[in-house]
């Protein structure tokens, strides 16, 4: 294998093929008369593909039975693994944009934030508007911004704002202010460009599927962490076990063909899980080997967000056919009371993780293929509420991060004197639907009209350079 | 009226449940229909229970659930692997075990299921409360009032300490009103997101609801002494739903409960816990009329809903994860004897006392690639090692039909559709045929039955009933 071209898709694909072949050659056959002890399953063997930075683990004969499907997946990876990727990071609960980028230069700031105000200069200055400062714990984002890798939207939202978490989040997820839309904005994109056999095209690292990735017809995946995606069965091994995996699909087909909504939901989940299991087999930690450390340092929190972002980089680094990703912070920014400390902790972890993710992509040579969109369902009310917290507001902040991000502000800080609506909430200076249209066109090079309702009437912003 | 359950029932049993104008299922009430009723209104049948219930006929069957003869817990009390009793107030996850045990053992199955409904309706998470004692106290209140009147329930939940902490009602004062409870009380508890109220109504409700506070116990650091302090209450004039008055917290609840949009919202939401298909419009109107004419009583409505034809003729309902876990334990005659169910329920997507947010669990998305796998993997926890067939010892005849029957019987004999049974038999046949050596022909049948048991409860029929 030529190491000289180890960065191109062909090599990645070839390395993974070799891993399968080596696994097949190296496996001890189940010798007649030499059964594996009951209940233990077949022994797992790990293969380190150092060039690909991957640990392949192999489950007995199951690996061989699955090899053709795995090969097909690898082939798809080699083809699809070069397209643009969008990673959506959701800051749960409506983050207080006036604390992420705080307007210490706005004359009214101190009046609105009697207990929460930060001093000018406590955090890095925001180079595009002298009135704004980054929260001290957002310094990693300020650093990326200074490198031209962050497009900042200081007040993004939509007209006639809704202050329900669920409704406003739903609007952002479906890409329209429509309560009854059932597919996500990224899901509709995948329905057009995706394939029927690749759940990884829309990958949600979470406990449940992000509605933003909800498709009408094509499979998408939800996993906790790729390394955790393994099937566990007691007292079944050898061919009865591998044939059992096929039965997942048989049961899945029974569900899908049943015409009953409940059984169909189960059947679809079974079919997607079965495919995903094959796709993620290489990411199972092998016995006695820990996964290779990522090339940048993520926060070592017990929260899942840093590990999930590291996993996204690892999966992309392995060339898996991923188009859209959704991840949420563990931190909930619904800070109705005593806001300062939990806000700072949550923001700090988010900013450090996003920074580490960007550096990770850069180290893996993937940075030009990935954009990260960071958003929340709304900002919070400028007037703090007296519990040293903030209630639900309207416009909030969002960021697009990446080496290909335009790196210039979208919209502006409207000022507290004239930038508030009659209810005292911030007025939007950018529309999230405009942002989505622009991302679809400039990043995915796809027309926005079939994906975002009313695309033709929405303005476009420059978000990609 | 405070104690609707228990002794008062005996005197009430004579009166017929009111279900005027709502259609009653008049098809065959056989074993499959009774089985479905037990999954919708309880936690699935114990072996033989569906047959016994079917013999009583629909009406008596429903009344046996809504007016249970006994509230006793039958079977051994919960314990940990060590044999020690659980510590529901103190040890992590033991709160879950405390409730799961009731789900498994209670003879009043609907009472536990309705408690789960109210837990989702008034979703409060210990993540924000930080006291298992307060969470369990809220749970007891929900159980006590689960079939009483909704105004009673709403009042009790408003005054509930865990709720007061969770939605920032305690500490919301005249000087600093907090909108959190006012918003969710309308949006999630009584009216739903819609155009029935305005942002101004949210703010005015918040003012009306001011005055609650609590102290913190110096010794334990736990919240203490929740009470209403008139000095902290805003007794000014408020304008709510175009009505003017010096409204207080009772008025706030009364106004929401007498809002013209409330009955329809209440009926649709309650029904959604029993059926995935919405009530036909005329039936929804009749149900709303019944709700209002009964003085907003819950029990008559539940009785009418459980007799509705859609329950038996409509689509299947995907079992909530904790319902499936409790039902699997009931099916195999096992009791709570491990703390594994705390994390297993979390992985499967529903850890009681920890709903994902104030809207509760999303029951339209129980199954995805992550939770499907979790449901599969928890089967291993369910079938304790001692019950796994050992291929070196077990004598199993290689007969696909008999093996499939055995695996279904293992779970208490759930009704499975023809295509599912055929998929199971096809697995058995293929796995039997994979044996070539003599030792394989001897040992595989036991492995296959182990596999079949896992597949039975991974089937779409079992996931949705």
Instruction: List chain A residues with CB under 8 Å of B446.
Output: 38, 235
Average pLDDT, chain A: 82
Nearest alpha-carbon partner for B62 in B110, B23, B116: B110
Q: Which of B376, B431, B459 sits opposite A239 (nearest CB)?
A: B431
The domain tally of chain B equals 2
To the nearest whole angstrom, how far is the Cα of B163 from the nearest Cα of chain A?
14
Rounded CA separation B168/B212 (Å): 10
Instruction: List chain B residues with CB under 8 Å of A255.
Output: 459-460
Q: Pairing state of beta strands A150-157 and A430-431?
A: parallel
* Full-model pTM: 0.77
B113 plus B259 within the same structural domain:
yes
B440 plus B306 within the same structural domain:
no
Q: Is residue B220 part of a domain?
A: yes
Q: List the single best residue of A42, A179, A266, A278 to mutate versus B (max B Cβ within 10 A).
A: A266
B117 plus B207 within the same structural domain:
yes
B250 is written with which tokens? Answer: 């009772």
Between CA A226 and CA A229, with CA A227 as vertex, the angle to 5 degrees is 65
Flag if A385 and B443 touch (Cβ within 8 Å).
no
pLDDT of residue A27: 24
Flag if B193 and A179 touch (Cβ within 8 Å).
yes
Confidence bin at A290 (pLDDT 50/70/90): low
> Taking residues A383-404, what's their average pLDDT?
96
pLDDT of residue B158: 98
Q: Is residue B83 part of a domain?
A: no
Q: Is residue B409 part of a domain?
A: yes
What's the residue count for chain B? 465
Helix (H, G, I), strand (E, B) or coil at A25: helix
Please give the domain boundaries of chain A with CATH numbers for all domains.
8-31+42-80+231-283 (no CATH), 85-221+288-457 (3.40.720)
> Taking residues A352-365, what's their average pLDDT?
96
Please give, one letter per residue, the 3-state secondary structure of B244-311: EECCCHHHHHHHHHCCCCHHHHHHHHHHHCCCCCCCCHHHHHHHHHHHHHCCCECHHHHHHHHCCHHH
Confidence bin at A69 (pLDDT 50/70/90): very low
Q: Is B453 exposed, middle or buried (0-12, 13-18, 19+ CB in 10 A)?
A: buried
Instruction: List chain A residues with CB under 8 Å of B448.
Output: 236, 240
Flag if A266 and B202 touch (Cβ within 8 Å).
no
Domain boundary among B283, B313, B343: B313
Helix (H, G, I), strand (E, B) or coil at B114: helix
Rounded CA separation A364/A367 (Å): 8
pLDDT of residue B220: 79
Domain boundary among B313, B334, B349: B313
Helix (H, G, I), strand (E, B) or coil at B14: coil
DSSP for B168-205? T-TT--SSS---HHHHHIIIIIIS-SSSSS-HHHHHHH
Q: List the single best residue of B368, B374, B404, B423 to mutate versus A (max A Cβ within 10 A).
A: B368
Q: Are residues B185 and B245 in contact, defined by beta-carbon separation less than 8 angstroms?
A: no
Q: Is residue B70 part of a domain?
A: no
Mark out the alpha helices in B67-130 (DSSP H runs): 94-105, 109-121, 126-129
Flag if B385 and A39 touch (Cβ within 8 Å).
yes
pLDDT of residue A302: 82
Buried/exposed B41-60: b ≥16 CB within 10 Å, e otherwise: bbbbbbeebbeebbeeebbe
Q: Which of A222, A233, A277 sits opposite B380 (nearest CB)?
A: A233
Buried/exposed A149-185: b ≥16 CB within 10 Å, e otherwise: bbbbbbbbbbeebbbbbbbbbbbbbbbbbeeebebbb
Nearest alpha-carbon partner for B349 in A305, A208, A214, A274: A208
Flag if A243 and B431 touch (Cβ within 8 Å).
yes
B304 plus B392 within the same structural domain:
no
In chain B (465 residues long), the average pLDDT of successive 10-residue segments reads 39 45 95 98 97 98 98 97 94 96 98 98 93 97 98 98 95 92 95 87 97 90 92 97 97 98 97 97 96 97 98 98 98 95 94 92 91 94 86 91 97 97 98 94 95 97 98
Flag if B316 and A248 touch (Cβ within 8 Å).
no
Confidence bin at A167 (pLDDT 50/70/90): confident
Q: Which of A209, A237, A250 sits opposite B368 (nearest CB)?
A: A209
Q: Is residue B139 part of a domain?
A: yes
In chain A, pLDDT over 70 holds for what percent of residues? 81
Q: Which of B199, B423, B435 sits opposite A250 (nearest CB)?
A: B423
Rounded CA separation B24/B121 (Å): 26
pLDDT in tens, A342-353: 999 999 999 999
Rounded CA separation A23/B78 (Å): 46
> Taking residues A428-448, what's their average pLDDT?
98
pLDDT of residue B5: 40
B271 plus B399 within the same structural domain:
no
Q: Are residues B201 and B186 in contact, defined by beta-carbon separation less than 8 angstroms?
A: yes
Q: Is residue B142 part of a domain?
A: yes
Does the ipTM surpass 0.85? yes
* Enclosing domain of residue B456: 383-465
Rounded CA separation A412/A428 (Å): 9
Domain boundary among B313, B334, B354: B313
Flag if B349 and A164 touch (Cβ within 8 Å).
no
């Amino acid at each position: 294998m030529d190491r000289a071209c180890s960065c191109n898709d062909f090599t990645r694909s070839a390395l993974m093929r070799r891993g399968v072949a080596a696994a097949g050659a190296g496996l001890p056959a189940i010798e007649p008369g030499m059964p594996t002890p009951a209940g233990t399953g077949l022994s797992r063997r790990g293969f380190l593909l150092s060039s690909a930075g991957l640990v392949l683990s192999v489950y007995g004969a199951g690996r061989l039975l699955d090899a053709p499907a795995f090969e097909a997946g690898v082939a798809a990876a080699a083809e699809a693994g070069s397209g643009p990727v969008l990673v959506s990071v959701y800051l749960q609960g409506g983050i207080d944009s006036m604390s992420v980028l705080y307007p210490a230069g706005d004359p009214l700031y101190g009046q609105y934030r009697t207990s929460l105000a930060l001093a000018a200069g406590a955090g890095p200055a925001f180079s595009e508007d002298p009135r704004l400062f980054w929260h001290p714990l957002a310094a990693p984002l300020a650093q990326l911004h200074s490198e031209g890798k962050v497009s900042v939207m200081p007040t993004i939202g939509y007209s006639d704002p809704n202050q329900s978490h669920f409704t406003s989040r739903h609007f952002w997820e479906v890409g329209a202010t429509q309560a009854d839309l059932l597919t996500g904005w990224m899901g509709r994109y995948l329905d057009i460009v995706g394939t029927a056999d690749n759940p990884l095209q829309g990958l949600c690292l979470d406990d449940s599927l992000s509605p933003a990735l909800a498709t009408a017809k094509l499979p998408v995946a939800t996993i906790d962490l790729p390394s955790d995606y393994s099937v566990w069965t007691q007292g079944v091994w050898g061919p009865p076990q591998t044939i059992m995996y096929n039965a997942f699909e048989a049961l899945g087909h029974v569900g899908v063909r049943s015409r009953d909504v409940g059984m169909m939901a189960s059947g679809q989940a079974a079919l997607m899980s079965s495919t995903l299991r094959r796709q993620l087999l290489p990411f199972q930690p092998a016995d006695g080997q820990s996964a290779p450390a990522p090339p940048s340092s993520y926060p070592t929190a017990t929260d899942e967000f840093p590990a999930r972002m590291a996993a996204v980089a690892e999966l992309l680094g392995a060339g898996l056919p991923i188009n859209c990703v959704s991840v949420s912070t563990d931190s909930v920014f619904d800070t109705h009371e005593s806001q300062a400390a939990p806000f700072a902790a949550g923001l700090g972890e988010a900013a450090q993780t996003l920074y580490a993710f960007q550096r990770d992509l850069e180290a893996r040579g993937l940075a030009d293929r990935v954009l990260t969109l960071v958003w929340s369902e709304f900002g919070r009310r400028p007037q703090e509420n007296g519990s040293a917290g903030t209630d639900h507001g309207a416009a909030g902040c969002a960021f697009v991060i990446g080496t290909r991000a335009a790196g210039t502000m979208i919209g502006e800080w409207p000022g507290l004197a004239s930038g508030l609506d009659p209810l005292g909430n911030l007025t939007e200076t950018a529309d999230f639907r405009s942002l989505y249209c622009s991302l679809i066109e400039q990043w995915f090079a796809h027309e926005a009209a079939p994906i975002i309702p009313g695309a033709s009437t929405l303005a476009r912003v420059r978000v990609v350079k | 009226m405070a104690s609707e359950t228990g002794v008062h029932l005996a005197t009430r049993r004579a009166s017929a449940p009111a279900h005027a104008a709502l259609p009653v299922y008049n098809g065959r009430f056989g074993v499959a229909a009774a089985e479905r009723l037990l999954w919708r209104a309880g936690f699935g049948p114990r072996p033989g229970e569906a047959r016994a219930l079917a013999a009583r006929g629909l009406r008596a069957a429903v009344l046996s659930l809504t007016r249970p003869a006994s509230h006793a817990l039958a079977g051994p009390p919960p314990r940990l692997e060590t044999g020690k009793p659980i510590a529901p107030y103190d040890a992590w996850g033991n709160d879950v075990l405390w409730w799961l045990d009731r789900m498994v053992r209670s003879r009043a199955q609907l009472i536990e299921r309705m408690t789960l409904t109210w837990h989702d309706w008034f979703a409060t998470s210990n993540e924000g409360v930080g006291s298992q004692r307060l969470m369990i106290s809220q749970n007891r209140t929900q159980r006590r009032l689960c079939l009483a009147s909704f105004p009673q329930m709403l009042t009790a939940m408003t005054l509930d300490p865990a709720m007061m902490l969770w939605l920032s009602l305690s500490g919301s004062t005249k000087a600093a009103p907090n909108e959190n409870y006012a918003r969710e009380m309308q949006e999630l508890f009584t009216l739903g997101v819609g155009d029935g109220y305005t942002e101004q109504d949210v703010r005015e409700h918040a003012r009306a609801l001011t005055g609650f506070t609590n102290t913190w116990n110096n010794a334990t650091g736990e919240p203490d002494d929740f009470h209403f302090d008139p000095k902290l209450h805003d007794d000014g004039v408020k304008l709510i739903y175009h009505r003017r008055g010096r409204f207080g917290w009772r008025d706030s609840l009364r106004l929401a409960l007498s809002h013209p949009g409330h009955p329809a919202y209440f009926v649709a939401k309650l029904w959604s816990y029993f059926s995935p298909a919405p009530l036909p419009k005329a039936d929804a109107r009749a149900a709303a009329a019944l709700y209002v004419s009964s003085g907003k009583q819950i029990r008559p409505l539940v009785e009418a809903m459980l007799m509705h034809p859609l329950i038996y003729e409509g689509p299947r309902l995907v079992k909530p994860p904790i319902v499936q876990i409790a039902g699997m334990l009931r099916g195999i005659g096992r009791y709570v004897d491990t703390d594994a169910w705390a994390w297993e329920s979390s992985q499967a997507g529903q850890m009681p006392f920890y709903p994902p947010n104030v809207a509760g669990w999303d029951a339209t998305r129980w199954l995805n690639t992550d939770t499907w796998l979790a449901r599969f993997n928890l089967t291993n926890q369910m079938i304790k090692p001692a019950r796994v067939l050992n291929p070196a010892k077990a004598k199993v005849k290689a007969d696909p039909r008999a093996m499939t029957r055995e695996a279904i019987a293992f779970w208490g004999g759930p009704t499975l559709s023809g295509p599912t049974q055929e998929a199971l038999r096809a697995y058995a046949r293929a796995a039997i045929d994979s044996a070539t050596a003599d030792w394989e022909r001897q040992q595989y049948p036991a492995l296959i039955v182990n596999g079949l048991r896992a597949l039975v409860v991974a089937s779409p029929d079992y996931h949705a009933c």
